[in-house]
Amino acid sequence: MTQVIVALDVGAIQREEDLLKSLKDAIIWYKVGLRLFTAHGKRAVDLVRRHGGKVFLDLKLHDIPQTVAHAVHEAQRLGADAVSIHLMGGPDMIAAAASVSPRPRLWGVTVLTSMSPKDVRIFHPGARVPTLVKSLAKSGWMHGADATICSAREVAYLRRQLPHLDMRFVTPGIRPKGAALNDQVRVMTPGEAAALGIDFIVVGRPITHAPDPRKAALDILAEMKASSPRSLETA
């Protein structure tokens, strides 16, 4: 079943706490990303845990293998339930991160959706974004990452291209029908994501900027529940 991760993209700890109180028991997973973690560190993680939530520490680690492995170890000590890495860090880096035991779930970013085809060609001449996404997702799967972070619009493509890999997916860029797109371009609704069997959707502003965040979250959960799973052939 698809689960919702609420992206706590806020700068103030009080705002984080208000959201956690408002979403209590409706949402289990919360994303602590670069902004909140740089501003408040362990305090931001502890707050989620004190409210009974699970933490996705979205730091997108990318460094030499040993450094990333140490950071994954520290993320475990911090109490993170999942941590992200850049799959572009290479097979050795992914494998080193995956070899840490115990460790949080390891979720691998393919190509940032903010990167244009022109950007990608700067460091991979001739590369096409979908091909690169596929290679990175495959590398993540082969070297021990537990899930692929990518656009929801890429999930059906990856399943078609890599039919033998039982890949899990974590996808941002989710917008309920009629919601503001903000800076997201290629979006998918929560219902469509649930029908595709995506494991986790990351939702920020449609919940955190809503006049009533709890109602916005419950509406999203209801929409997901109502959508029936679709077969891979029709996806």
- Give least dist CB 34 to ligand C5P, A: 8
List binders of ligand C5P among 106-135 (CB under 6 A): 112-113
Residues in the chain: 235
Piece in contact with ligand C5P (CB under 6 A), picked from 10-18, 44-52, 88-96, 196-204: 196-204
Q: Catalytic annotation on 60?
A: yes
β-pairing verdict for 169-171 and 147-149: parallel
- Give least dist CB 164 to ligand C5P, A: 26
- Give least dist CB 113 to ligand C5P, A: 4
Q: Is 203 in the site for ligand C5P (CB under 6 A)?
A: yes
Q: Which residue is nearest to ligand C5P (CB)?
A: 204
Closest to 189 in 3D by CA, of 226, 162, 161, 214: 226
Beta-carbon neighbour count of residue 84 at 10 Å? Answer: 26
Residues forming a β-bridge with 169: 148
25: phi > 0 → left, psi -120 to 50 → alpha, else beta; which?
left
Q: Is 172 in the site for ligand C5P (CB under 6 A)?
A: yes
Question: CA neighbours within 13 Å on the CB side: how many for 54?
Answer: 14
Binders of ligand C5P: how many residues, by CB under 6 A? 14
Instruction: Compare residues 32 and 75 and give the one whose CB is closer to ligand C5P.
Output: 32
Q: Is 9 in the site for ligand C5P (CB under 6 A)?
A: yes
Q: What is the largest CA-CA distance in the chain?
A: 49
Q: Is 184 in the site for ligand C5P (CB under 6 A)?
A: yes
Which residues are tagged catalytic?
60
